[in-house]
Structure 1
C-alpha cells in the first residue's frame, strides 16, 4: 500500500530539482563574460521507484526526480587544438614584436636612416672629386663620415639594448611560467580531492585550470595529458612542469659556464633557461610559444643584424681604408686611414689580414666581430686644425712623383706641388723672366697644352714671396718652386728665352680621382680597384659583384621580408585561434537565448510542481479534517 503522503514527497523532490536547475542556469548567466568559464548543466534523473502490491500483483510507481550531477560542457578535443594554436601564436607574436623593433633600429626610410647617410657620404665624395681644392667640401665630407660612423655605432647600441630588453622579458616570462605551474599543481590537488570516487565535479576549478593552461601554452608550447584521477601532467621545454604531486621550476640564468656564456662576438649576455632539478644543468628547449620566439629573436634575428653591421664596418675599415691609404692629400700626405685609428706604420699589403696590423685599430691581435664596430670612427688625425682636411686623400699621385725637365741642368732645381684639379693629361712649360742678384727667381711665365694639343699663350704666374724660394701658382692648382742659383738665366717676357722647366701632369694625378674611386667604392664592387692597388689582397668583405650599398639594401630587404612574414604569421594564427575559439564557445560558451529558454522551462516545471503540492495538500486537508465526522 502506497503511503498517503508519498505524492507530496515526489513533488518536493521535483521542486528541489527544478530549483537546482534554476540556480545552475543563474550561475551560467552570472559568468557569461567570465574568461575561461564553461557553461554548466544540472543532469536530472528519476529516483528509484516504489513497489506497490495491488490486487493484480506488484507494480512500480515513480517517486520523482533528483539532480544526479552538475557538470560543465567542455570539448577536450577542441581544447587540445586551442593549446596547439596558442603555442604557434605566442611564437609568432614574439618574433613579430622583436623584428618590428629591429626595423626601428635602422630608421628606414627616413633622413636619419643608414641609407640616407650613405647617400650623403657618397655625394660628399663626389663633391670633393669635382672640386678637390675646396676646404668647405672636405669639411662636409669629413662630417658626413662622422654621421655615418655614429649611425652605425648607434644602430649596434640599439640592437644591444633590444637584446637586453629581450633578456628582461624572458626573465619575466620564466617567473610567470613558474607561478602558473604552482597554481596548476594546487588546482590538481583540489580537483582530485573533490572528484575522488567520481561522485562530484570540480567544474569551476577545472575552468580555472584550463584558463591557466591556455596562458602556459602561449608561453611555452606546453603539452597536456590527464591522468585517471583528473590531474594534468604538463610538459614543456624538455621537462615535466606539473604532475599530480610536484612542479619542476624553470630557472633564469644569465651566464652558465660551459653551456651559454656571454656572447663571444659582441659581449652581450646570452641568458639561458635551465630546468631547476638535481644533477647536471639541463637547458630548456622549447618547441614553440613566446619563450622560443624571444630566444630565437635574440640569438638569431638580432645577432644577424649585428653581423650585418659588423660586415659593413669591416668593409669601411678594410677595403675603403685601403683605397684611401694609397691616395694622397692636398699636402701630398699618404697612408692615412679615413676610418679607425691611425697606424704608425703602413700595414703589410694594406689589408689588415695580418694580426700585427690590428693592434692600432683594436688593441688585440684577435678582434671579434664586435671590435670592428667599435673601431669605426673617423680617424682623429683628419681633425688636426692645421692639416687635417688636407690629409683627405682625394688624388692618386704625389707631386714628388713628377719629373721636371730643365733646359739648363746647372740652373736651380724645380719642385712641383699643389693639387691638380684638371681631368686630362696636361703639359706645363715654365720660363724664368725675373731674378735678383743672388739668383732668386722673382717672376715666371708659363704655357700649357692638353692631351698633346696646341700650346696655350703665355701667362704670368702669381708669386708668394713669404718663403725662399718663392712659390708660383700655375693653372689647375699646380705650383712650382725654383731654387735660388746664380746660373738661373733670364729671358724677356714673351720670348721664352729664359731657363725652361717642363713637366707633365697625367690624369692619374688629378686631385679628385681618388675621391671618385672612393665614391664608387660605396656603390660598386671594389675588386678591380683593389686589384690594381694591391694584387695580393684577397680578404674581401663582400662576394663578387656586391657593394656596400647593395649589401645594405639586401640586408634591409631581407629584414623587411622577415618582418612581413612574421606579421602574416601572426594574422594567420590569430584567425585560426579565433576560429577554434568559436568552436569552443559554441560548445562551452553561455548562450543567453538558450539560458532564458531553460529559465522558462525550469520555472514552469517548478510552478507545476507547486500546483501539484497544493492539490495534494487540499486532498490531505479533506482527508484529515472532513472525514470520520458523521454522527458527531
Structure 2
C-alpha cells in the first residue's frame, strides 16, 4: 500500500499549501501581515530489497517571509518620521500664534508707535491722545492673548503627552501578552505566525511613539528595549507614568525606579521637545514684553502730562521686602546704582527745584532710599506694606515730577553782584552733567565792554561756550549755550572771577527705580504677573506724559519714545523692539522650513522601505493564483494517481478471485 500512502502525502501537502495560499489572499490588505509559504521536504525512503524507494512528501514548516534588516530600518525611520510630523504640527501652531497679521502683536506695536508719531505732531489734540492710550491697550491685550494662547498650547500638549503615555502602556502590555502566548505555542510545537504578525504590528505602532532598540529587535527571544532604554518588554512590560508639574509642564517617568524617560525619537519625544519649544517662545515673548515696558515706562516716568501738577504719585508695582539690599530684590525690573533726581515745583511761583538722591544697590535697601527721599523739603514717601507699593506725596502748594532738566535759578549761586542769572530750555543730551559759569571782567551787565561769561564742564574743565554779556548784550535776552540749554542775565553788576554751577539733568533716573516701583509709568505689572495700563493715565488722556516741561505744545517726551522705534534694544541680536517681535515669528518659520525638508526626506525613506518590505512580505494576488494553480495540479495529479492505483488493485483482486 506504499503507492497509496505516497499519493496521500502529496494530497495532504497540496491541501496545506492551498490553505496557506488562501490565507495569504484573504490577508492581502491586512496591515502588518507577512506572506506565508509552505516548505516541503521529502520523506525518508523505504528500502525494498536493495532498492530505496521514495515514500512521499511532508510539510516541513509554514514560513513567514520577512526581511528582518529592512523591517528594522523601517521601524527606525517610522519613529523619526512620526517625530518630525508631530514637531511640524507643534511648530505650525506656534507660527499661527505669532504670524504677522491684522490685530497681531506685531501690528499693534507698529500702530502704537504710529499713533505716538501722530500725537508728536499735534501734542495738544485730546482725540489723538485717546488714540495713543487705545493703541497701548491693544498692545497689552495682544501680549495677554498671545500669552494665553501659548499657555493653552502647553496645556493641550500636556494632555497629549498623558494620552500618548497611556497608549504606550496599552501597546507594551499587549506586546508582553503576545510574547507569553508565542512562547507557549512555540514550546508546544506550533508555529505562532499569526501571533508574530500581531506582535510585529504592535511593535511598528509603538515605534511611532518611542524609539525601538534595533539590537533588541533583531535578536530573537530578546526582550524588546524602547524609549532610550526606559521600557523593557518581555512577558511583562515596563509601564510609564506622566505627571503634570505645578508650573503646568509634563514629565514622564518609568515606574520601575522612577527614572525620567527621555526617548530619542517618536511622537512622545516630539511632544516633550515641543513643550520646550513653547517655553522658549513664551520666555522670548516675556523678555520682549518686559523690555518694551521698561523702555517705554522709563521715558514716560521722566516726562509730564499736559499742564499736570501732581501732588501725589502712586506706584503701581509691588516691591518687597523693603529691608534687604536692592540688588537682592526679586523683581523683573532691577535697580542699578546711580542717582535719582526728583523735582518739586512751587505752584504759586513756578519755581522748580531738583534734588539728587544717590543709591548704592549693594548696601542700600528700599527703606534707605525712601528715607533719603523724605529728607527732600516738601516731600514725603510712603511704603504700603499690604501691597508692597510706594507712593510719594508733596506738601500743599507743591507738585512732583521726574522730568529733570535745569533749575531756572542756580541753587547755590556764588555771585555777589546785583545781576541775576536765569536758566531755561531743556537738555537734548542723554547724559547728566554739571556746568560752571565764570564771570570774566567786572562791571554792569549790558553796559561794560568786554564782560563775558565762560561756561565749562565742571568735571573735565572742557570749555563749552563763552557768552558776551557786556555792552553788546541786552539784559534779559536769552543766550544759547549748548545742548538745548539757554541762559539770560538781569541788569546789574557782576564781579570778575565769581562763578556759579548748575546741573544738567538729562537722565533723571540712572537707577531704574521709577520703573521698578511703577512711579509715573504708562504700564502696570510685568509679563509674568500680567500687564495693564496705569489707571492714572486711563482716567484722563491729559495725564499721558507727552512732554518734558508740561507745556501743551511740547512733544519732546513723545519724540524720545519715537526714537525707541529705531534704537537697538536687544544688543545681542542687534534688533529693535519691532524687529525682535518679528524675528520670533520668522525664526519659527525657518524652523518649520528645515523640519519640512527633514519630514519629506523621511517620508521618501519610509515609502521606499515599505516597498522593499512588501516585495518580500507583501501578498500579490496574481502571484498567489499562479502558485495556487501549481498546487492544484499537484493535488489533481495525486488524486488521479491514487485512482489509478485503486483501479489496478481492483483488477488484480478480480484476477485472483
The equivalent position to 1:250 in structure 2, one of 221, 229, 240, is 240
Aligned to 1:277: 256
Corresponding position: 1:293 with 2:270: yes
Q: CA deviation at 1:37?
A: 0.4
Corresponding position: 1:201 with 2:191: yes
Q: Is the 8 A contact 1:222 1:234 kept in 2?
A: yes
Rate the CA distance shift 1:599–1:131 in 2: closer, same or farther, 3 A: same
Aligned to 1:146: 137
Alpha-carbon distance in structure 2 between the residues aligned to 1:312 and 1:563 = 22
Q: CA deviation at 1:101?
A: 0.8
The equivalent position to 2:58 in structure 1, one of 42, 59, 66, is 66
The equivalent position to 2:605 in structure 1, one of 576, 580, 584, is 576
TM-score normalised by the chain length of structure 1: 0.70
Corresponding position: 1:561 with 2:537: no
Aligned to 2:106: 115
Q: Is the 8 A contact 2:224 2:233 kept in 1?
A: yes
Alpha-carbon distance in structure 2 between the residues aligned to 1:302 and 1:226 = 34
Q: Secondary structure at the match of 2:52?
A: strand
Which one has the bigger strand percentage? 2
Aligned to 1:344: 391
Alpha-carbon distance in structure 2 between the residues aligned to 1:174 and 1:76 = 28
Aligned to 1:459: none
Aligned to 1:530: none
Rate the CA distance shift 1:28–1:112 in 2: closer, same or farther, 3 A: same
Aligned to 2:448: none
Rate the CA distance shift 1:176–1:328 in 2: closer, same or farther, 3 A: same
Aligned to 2:516: 357
Rate the CA distance shift 1:289–1:353 in 2: closer, same or farther, 3 A: farther
RMSD of the TM alignment (CA)?
2.9
Aligned to 1:32: 28
Residue correspondence of structure 1 range 446-485 to structure 2 within 5 A: none
Alpha-carbon distance in structure 1 between the residues aligned to 2:639 and 2:628 = 16
Q: When the two structures are aligned, how many residues end up with a matched partner?
A: 471
Alpha-carbon distance in structure 2 between the residues aligned to 1:286 and 1:354 = 47
The equivalent position to 1:93 in structure 2, one of 85, 94, 102, is 85
Corresponding position: 1:516 with 2:495: no
Alpha-carbon distance in structure 2 between the residues aligned to 1:351 and 1:31 = 79
The equivalent position to 2:283 in structure 1, one of 288, 293, 307, is 307
Q: CA deviation at 1:194?
A: 1.4
Aligned to 1:84: 76
Q: Secondary structure at the match of 1:608?
A: helix
The equivalent position to 2:633 in structure 1, one of 593, 604, 622, is 604
Unaligned ranges ≥5, structure 2: 319-388, 393-400, 403-506
Corresponding position: 1:156 with 2:151: no
Alpha-carbon distance in structure 2 between the residues aligned to 1:188 and 1:333 = 83
Q: Secondary structure at the match of 2:391?
A: coil
Q: CA deviation at 1:549?
A: 0.7
Aligned to 1:182: 173
Q: Secondary structure at the match of 1:71?
A: strand
Q: CA deviation at 1:6?
A: 1.4
Aligned to 1:628: 656
Residues 405-424 of structure 1: CA deviation (Å, up to 9, x unaligned): xxxxxxxxxxxxxx12xxxx
Q: Is the 8 A contact 1:312 1:548 kept in 2?
A: yes
TM-score normalised by the chain length of structure 2: 0.67
Q: Secondary structure at the match of 2:531?
A: coil
Alpha-carbon distance in structure 2 between the residues aligned to 1:295 and 1:354 = 40
Rate the CA distance shift 1:148–1:337 in 2: closer, same or farther, 3 A: farther
Unaligned ranges ≥5, structure 1: 256-261, 263-267, 400-418, 421-510, 527-540
Q: Is the 8 A contact 2:299 2:561 kept in 1?
A: yes
Rate the CA distance shift 1:321–1:361 in 2: closer, same or farther, 3 A: closer
Alpha-carbon distance in structure 1 between the residues aligned to 2:133 and 2:518 = 24
Q: CA deviation at 1:269?
A: 1.7
Q: CA deviation at 1:136?
A: 1.2
Q: CA deviation at 1:355?
A: 11
Alpha-carbon distance in structure 2 between the residues aligned to 1:22 and 1:327 = 94
Rate the CA distance shift 1:359–1:44 in 2: closer, same or farther, 3 A: same
Rate the CA distance shift 1:286–1:361 in 2: closer, same or farther, 3 A: farther
Aligned to 1:331: 307
Q: Is the 8 A contact 2:290 2:526 kept in 1?
A: no
Rate the CA distance shift 1:355–1:70 in 2: closer, same or farther, 3 A: farther
Q: Is the 8 A contact 1:340 1:378 kept in 2?
A: no
Aligned to 1:619: 648
Q: CA deviation at 1:360?
A: 8.0
Rate the CA distance shift 1:545–1:193 in 2: closer, same or farther, 3 A: closer
Q: Is the 8 A contact 1:309 1:373 kept in 2?
A: no
Q: Is the 8 A contact 2:212 2:224 kept in 1?
A: no
Q: Is the 8 A contact 2:72 2:218 kept in 1?
A: no
Q: CA deviation at 1:170?
A: 0.6
Rate the CA distance shift 1:139–1:100 in 2: closer, same or farther, 3 A: same
Alpha-carbon distance in structure 2 between the residues aligned to 1:294 and 1:98 = 8
Rate the CA distance shift 1:371–1:119 in 2: closer, same or farther, 3 A: closer
